Amino acid sequence: MTDYAARRMMMVDTQIRPSDVTKFPIIDAMLSVPRESFVPSALREAAYVGENVSLGGNRVVLEPRSLAKMLDALDITGDELVLDIGCGLGYSSAVMARMAEAVIAVEEDEGLAEEAQSLLVDFGADNVILHTGPLAEGAPEHGPYDVITIQGAVAHLPEGILAQLKDGGRIACLFAEGALGVARVGYKIDGHISWRYAFNAGAPVLPGFESHAAFTL
């Protein structure tokens, strides 16, 4: 077992399972995807620490616990199409690619997107399509989606994103509320979103998802 493989196992045993995430597809994906490959090379030693890893520019790779609990609440199945907004270097997309039929990964930073494309190809995630464009616009041409994930906090959720979710689909968002955010899962029923509390976590607000004065849940 390589040093990084041992760290992945320790991550699962000390950060994921104790957070009540025990579903096999999630555990298997997080044991299989080399997180160290999807963070900036200078931060590889921090890849398995239980914290968000900075990508620069107020962007992060979400801590393993946050991603795992998000996936646990979403319960992605193998016939579903996922929209992954703010994929960064592609870690979350690589993880979900092992659980879903296909993942559309959205990244607006051209440098991150180019590197993510290369890393995802190297990993063999051939069911991930990288879409370069504004995060807040999503990727409507590939939708509608069974599941939408947002890899960072939101203070305002554009209606255009919600419009890309299928009726009966789920969306996971980390809402910025004070120092600690609140992760909620929204279920789209008859065109309306019903939100349920999932867990608490923190992350920077993504570009395009900043606060708008009149926004309420």
- Would you state the structure tokens that stand for residue 16, as one six-digit string? 């994921």
How confident is the model over 187-206, as pLDDT tens digits? 999 999 999 999 999 999 99
Q: What pLDDT does 2 receive? A: 73
How confident is the model over 140-173, as pLDDT tens digits? 999 999 999 999 999 999 999 999 999 999 999 9
For residue 45, pLDDT over 50 is answered with yes
CA distances from 28 to 19, 137, 154, 183 (A): 16, 31, 28, 23
Q: What pLDDT does 214 receive? A: 46
Q: What pLDDT does 213 receive? A: 52
pLDDT band at 3 (very low <50, low <70, confident <90, very high): very high
Of all residues in the chain, the percent with pLDDT exceeding 90 is 93
Work out the average pLDDT over 48-56: 94
Q: What pLDDT does 215 receive? A: 46
Q: Which helix (H) or strand (E) holds 71?
A: helix 64-74
Q: What pLDDT does 212 receive? A: 67
Instruction: Look at 55-64, 85-94, 171-180 and tell me which has the smallest mean pLDDT.
Output: 171-180
pLDDT band at 22 (very low <50, low <70, confident <90, very high): very high
- Would you state the structure tokens that stand for residue 116, as one six-digit string? 């993510």
Residues in CB range of 193: below 8 A, 6 or more apart: 162, 165, 171, 186, 187
Q: What pLDDT does 1 receive? A: 58
